[in-house]
Structure 1
Amino acid sequence: MIIQEKTMLGFNQDEYLTSAREIIAARKQAETVADDIYQSGCSALFFASVGGSLAPMMAINEFAKELTSVPVYLEQAAELIHRGHKKLNKDA
């Protein structure tokens, strides 16, 4: 039996692993920032993004909704600027 190795087009394993290590290394800092935001009495949390950044933000948004009682919103940046949001205020 001959087994052929398959490769994914455009996939760079070194880049992927480097990115994963950087994300893991930033966890403590992200947790500290999140705790500071929560302790400040934040009324809502907004993630604003555009284009290709929107897809990863969807996953982050879902995690945030699971982990906090603070309302969490994901918006396209231009739409948020153009039409606003009733929950977007100085405390959000």
Structure 2
Amino acid sequence: MRSPRRRTVVETRWMSGMMRGGATRRDEGRGRERWGMKYNNAVEDLMERKRKSIREKSREGRESLKREVRAGRKKYEDFGEEEKGIIRIHVFLKCQCASSRSDR
């Protein structure tokens, strides 16, 4: 049985970056509107919207979630069509990952 191919440092970095979703505390002050930040924020917002069905079956969390989603939707509307497409695919894939994880 062959041992699996070792990941390069770059790949590992990239993956951890993907899992974190990009915009970390460190970036808070610096120009947030760099494409990466803006993109990742939009992705996160859409993730929330999709996760809504999984996460919020309970009543008390619903109101705050609605507010979050509204804000997220506004941010999402700022993107062009092509970018929206990319984000949609990205979110779809991320949601697949999230739902297939055993702890969900």
Higher strand proportion, which one?
1
Structure of larger gyration radius: 1
Q: What is the TM-score normalised by the length of structure 2?
A: 0.28
Higher relative contact order (CA 8 A, sep 6+): 1
